[in-house]
Amino acid sequence: MTTGALIFAFNNEKTDYVRMAAWSAERIRHFLRIPVAVVTDSTDPGLHKKFETVICVEPQNGGQRYFEDYDHTVSWHNAGRTDAYSLSPYDQTLVLDSDYVVCGTQLNTVLNAPQDFMAFRNAYNLADPDTEFMSTFGRNRFPMWWATVMMFRKSNTAQYIFESMTMIKQNWQHYRALYGITEKTYRNDYALSIALGIVSGHTMAVDSIPYAMASVMPDTELLRINRDPEIWELRYRSAENKPQRLGLYATDFHAMGKSYLEAVIEAD
């Protein structure tokens, strides 16, 4: 059985996601020892040196999104995530956002699990781990799973999930109204959560990654202090507006502030 990672990377007005994906690919190969495929609209021939497989497709615009760290609204081209099942060249695939930073072997727990599909059910803010963080969405507080990291094997279960996500995306305004979603922009996390509800027969008996996803908010400064071993530092302000620092050792995390991660990549 072949196993590999799949990253979607489409640049917009502010973020070079292709470069971010290439940087992430090096780390995935180093820590997880698996090949990496990229889904992109870039025709740069140099990409074949940075990824084992380059899959060229047209970007699917998911609308406009405001990014706090840029203080700017940009085009968001990540709506094609629903095609991960059909595009992946692997029997077992680890789908990762390009801004998910792999710092160790944590994801081997997911790759070695027997389930056909897994995603994060819970996430937490590293700067405020005791506060509930986007665990539900919509008027009825439907439980949310994160599409930031998804593991699937080619199977009926995984195929049904991605087909359901496609149906939801194609009928987004209907599902927005049905689930009481106020945001106008299509979101993969919501589509995934609704799809998991449909495929589970609305029992929500869903296999999830057995730990919560560490997240770094856009207003938290992110610095890499050491490369080997991996040590990062978070700088932020407490609820009392006091400066705080937090060190991370060999911990994977979702860097929601793209500008700080780009600065780290630029310094590499």
Residue 146, φ and ψ in degrees, nearest 5? -100, 130
pTM of the model: 0.92
For residues 260 and 264, give the distance between their C-alpha atoms in angstroms, rounded to a whole number.
7
Q: What is the pLDDT of residue 237?
A: 87
The total number of structural domains that make up the chain:
1
Which CATH number is 19's domain given? 3.90.550.10
Asked if residue 134 is part of any domain, the answer here is: yes
How far from chain centre, in Å, is Cα 134?
14
Tell me: the pLDDT tens digits for 169-178? 999 999 999 9
Structure-token pair, residue 87: 């595009």
Q: Domain limits at 113?
A: 3-211
How far from chain centre, in Å, is Cα 68?
18
Asked if residue 254 is part of any domain, the answer here is: no
Res. 115 pLDDT band, cuts 50 70 90:
very high
Mean pLDDT of 141-148: 96
- Give me the chain's average pLDDT, please: 91
Asked if residue 264 is part of any domain, the answer here is: no
Mean pLDDT of 84-98: 97
> The tokens 């940075």 sit on which residue?
50
Tell me: the pLDDT tens digits for 6-20? 999 998 766 889 999
Mean pLDDT of 19-34: 97
Res. 181 pLDDT band, cuts 50 70 90:
very high
The answer to whether 101 touches 252, Cβ cutoff 8 Å, is yes
Asked if residue 122 is part of any domain, the answer here is: yes
Asked if residue 228 is part of any domain, the answer here is: no
CB half-sphere exposure, 147, CA atoms < 13 A:
23
Indicate if the pLDDT at residue 210 is higher than 70.
Answer: yes
Asked if residue 224 is part of any domain, the answer here is: no
Is the previous residue joined to 229 through a cis bond, with omega within 30 degrees of 0?
Answer: yes
How far, CA to CA in Å, does 161 sit from each of 82, 164, 214? 9, 5, 24
Spell out where 97-162 has E strands. Answer: 100-101, 117-120, 123-125, 136-137, 142-143, 146-153
DSSP bridge pairs for 214: 124
The span from the first CA to the last CA of the chain, in angstroms, equals 34
Q: What is the pLDDT of residue 77?
A: 58
Q: What is the pLDDT of residue 13?
A: 63
The SS3 call for residue 196 is helix
Asked if residue 221 is part of any domain, the answer here is: no
Phi/psi zone of residue 53: left (φ > 0), alpha (ψ -120 to 50 degrees), beta? beta
Asked if residue 47 is part of any domain, the answer here is: yes
